[in-house]
Amino acid sequence: MVERLPEEGKIWYNGEFVDWKEAKVHVLAHGLHYGSGVFEGIRCYATEKGSFIFRLNEHVNRMYRSAELYKLKIPYSKEELKNAIKETVRINGLDACYIRPIAFYGYHHLGVNPESCPVDCAIAAWRWGTYLGEEALENGIRCTFSSWRRIDPNTLPVMAKATGHYLNSLLAVLDAKERGFDEAIMLDNNGYVAEGPGENIFAVKNATLYTPAAESSILPGITRDSVIVLARDTGYEVVEKPVTKEELLSADEVFFSGTAAEVSPIREIDNVTIGEGKRGEVTGEIQRKFFDVVHAKEERYMRWLEPV
Ligand SMILES: Cc1ncc(COP(=O)(O)O)c(C=O)c1O
């Protein structure tokens, strides 16, 4: 069972804090009908040095880039949005949480053309544990190649984290769950591996990491970037290139990266055991490093942590 959202606390909504239950939209809001919004998923971690938001700048930058691709003008500066995000965490008394800022075309008229629609903006934050479960972080998950291809750059700007794009992810997730798997892996339109419905993917072969590049229709993940930096700083070679299904199936290790999934090993794909069928050594090392970094235990990467 998926946990229900809380109903207490405050949500920042168009510049003001409102009670959780009062943060509502009209049923004729443009964003509801056409998926015309952009959002972010951000984590805040409790550490011995206080609470820190992981790579807040990068998340906010990506949100504005996503908005630009849809000509959606967020009516706040990046600085204002960052401050609002931090304030949302503080006002809700959260030390560790998931943060969801969203901007979408609101209520005005119902043509597809969003011109004249206001841009509404909200930020919510709530306590949230692991996405795929504690077990998953340790023992890995079972995935399937989806028959749904990842959205294509000739159809939608895949680099944008836009609300409507997630219909593609939804189909892949539903299909994977119906067939008894934990998560889907989507291919791009050329048949190369793209990513999960909400995660980027890495393969490890002979201690080198491989991950699909931008050309494979991926969302440029901030955790993906962090993993690349951490792996290289640890001495591993990381290659961004088109990755085939075969390369995943014959890899020593495969893992997902993402704000929600963090670093999650994949132990099986379509009933084929990956490596030894458990979290591999390299994945374990990267995962440990990642958790040390987000928990402020690595001085070198404190630049990624924004104090609340
Ligand atoms: C489709 C998709 N790919 C990849 C990711 C991973 O990105 P990040 O590491 O920035 O959370 C996400 C999550 O935001 C996603 O939704």
The verdict on 154 and 64 lying in the same domain is no
Give the domain range for residue 18.
Answer: 10-126
10 lines ligand 1 (CB under 6 A): no
Q: Is the pTM of this model over 0.85?
A: yes
> What's the 108 CA to ligand 1 centre distance in angstroms?
31
Ligand 1 atom at shortest distance from the alpha carbon of 259? 11
pLDDT at position 83: 98
Please tell me the predicted confidence (pLDDT) of residue 279.
96
> Which of 126, 159, 175 lies at the terminal end of a domain, its last residue?
126
Query: What positions carry a catalytic annotation?
Result: 161
Question: Using a 6 Å cutoff on CB, does residue 195 contact ligand 1?
Answer: yes
Q: Which of 126, 147, 163 is the last residue of a domain?
A: 126
Asked if residue 182 and residue 119 are part of one domain, the reply reads no
When divided into structural domains, the chain yields a total of 2
Query: How far apart are the CA of 221 and the centre of ligand 1, in A?
Result: 5
Q: Judge whether 1 lies within some domain.
A: no
**Nearest by Cα to 234 from 263, 199, 196, 270:** 263
- Regions of the chain short of the pLDDT cut 70: none
Specify the residue for token string 């550490």: 47
Residue 169 within any structural domain of the chain: yes
Residue 112 resides in a domain: yes
Q: Give the long-range contacts of residues 130-133, CB within 8 A, separation 24 or more.
A: 130/262, 131/198, 131/258, 131/260, 131/261, 131/262, 131/264, 132/182, 132/183, 132/256, 132/261, 132/264
